[in-house]
Amino acid sequence: MATNNIQLNNLTAISPIDGRYWGQVQGLSEYFSEYALIKYRVQVEIEYFIELSKLKELKPLNEVNKDEDHKKLRDIYVQFKESDAQKIKQIEKTTNHDIKAVEYFIKEKMHTELQYSEVVTEFIHFGLTSQDINNTAIPLSIVESVEKVLLPQLKQSVLEPLRQFSQQWKSIPMLARTHGQPATPTTVGKELMVFIERLENQINHLEQSVPHTCKFGGATGNLNAHKVSYPSIDWVAFSEKFVKILHPSLKRMRFTTQIEHYDNVASLLDAFKRINTILIDLCRDIWTYISMEYFNQKLIKGEVGSSTMPHKVNPIDFENAEGNMGVANALYEHLSAKLPISRLQRDLTDSTVLRSIGVPFSHSLLSFKSIQRGLLKLVLNEANIAKDLDANWAVVSEAIQTILRREGFPKPYEALKELTRVSGNKKITESDIHTFIDSLSIPDDIKSELKLITPFNYIGIISDF
């Protein structure tokens, strides 16, 4: 079958990110597409040139150190279009080098549209190597995508609904299960707070503890070409100030090889992997509660659960999220393990795998949105939750034996164990508990206190969230 005439679109794309799911993740194209990478490279080159023009020692550039010139230069990337990226790709066919193609594109723009002389344009990419551009452009794209898309979407899609439900269902008692068996009661709201706290901890870690670092130091990290050309300039201070101009969160690594060591990129990827792991845990719990009929799901008109079983309403949003986060985590794991390793002063493997950096972020974004859809379909089935509690009066045995310990009653744990660990299908009932309490040699007021305890009110401290 001949395939050389197939055009790329949502149906022919190999990756589901660029095909089936494109509509849900296309916002990340502004940060991780080939077009976006080229645009970020142009931005770094232009801003670097502008900062060079402010150095009085670089006399050929003194004539372009004006606000008007800076605006015109910035317009090259601010007004960057897909057709500009196509021109750069066309130049690359000749150069067989992507960064050199960016350099030539900018020089041509400056010469033909701004009428700058060749003496001036030769300061584009002055003293730099490709990875000064890539290892600044890519961290810049990552930090902006995290700040503008990924974390806002996580908070909106997952944290906001969870917070709303945790308050709404704060006091709804629910049977807990440890090892799959009935355990001390909790509340629906509190169990959601477990995930809220875990997610907030990881978000705080991402926002406050994970640095966004870059490399900007010449061919092997020592600013050799800069130093030999203009030895009187403090190039270390210049470079560190420059990356802050691009984004205040960017920090230049002082000691590098030809490339950034990626330790902090790995830390960021690992943080997103932990967030996904927490969300997988959430999805599996919600899925289980749905299967236990603690939650029902709102029906969506026209939606089909099974091609053969008309009654099915499946928890597909949580399943889709779990699957996509699994794919994302596999890539996060590979990238975080691979990127910090490079032979001697540099090999090309980092460049190869970095081209996929947007893929796990896209699967994460897709998952956040899937979880939101699933959460908004949930309807709490209080009747079933209450039925389960009422069928498991044995769970108040912990409360009873603890109060008996307080009162100095001999071997209370063993007494409750004898009562509650029954064989067969027999269930401990309210009547069984009360009969046991009446048989105890304890004061009547303690018996009354014990009889007030039920699976519905033995829920611990729930007032502080």
DSSP, residue by residue, 280-300:
HHHHHHHHHHHHTTSEEE---
State the pairing for strand pair 212-214/250-252: parallel
Give how far Cα 133 sits from Cα of 30, 298, 322, 347, Å: 18, 50, 36, 16
Residues 6+ apart with CB under 8 A from 352: none
Phi, psi of 240, deg, nearest 5: -70, -35
Annotated active-site residue 209? The verdict is: no
Which parts of 234-368 are beta strand (E)? 250-252, 295-297
Tokens representing 31 are 């940060």
Burial class (CB in 10 A: 0-12, 13-18, 19+), 254: exposed
Tokens representing 205 are 């870690």
Give how far Cα 401 sits from Cα of 149, 404, 409, 428, 444, Å: 52, 5, 9, 16, 16
Q: Rounded to the nearest 10 degrees, how much is the dihedral formed by the CA atoms of 143, 144, 150, 152?
A: 120
Q: Which of 179, 232, 423, 431 is catalytic?
A: 179
Q: What three-state secondary structure class fits 380?
A: strand
Residues 6+ apart with CB under 8 A from 389: 173, 174, 175, 185, 455, 456
DSSP state for residue 213 in the 8-state scheme = E
User: Nearest 5 degrees, angle CA 454-CA 457-CA 458?
Assistant: 75
Decide: 214 and 251 in contact? Cβ < 8 Å: yes
Give how far Cα 39 sits from Cα of 78, 178, 288, Å: 9, 52, 45
Annotated active-site residue 83? The verdict is: no
| CA gyration radius, the chain | 31
Q: Which of 306, 356, 439, 448 is catalytic?
A: 306
Q: Provide the annotated active-site residues.
A: 179, 306
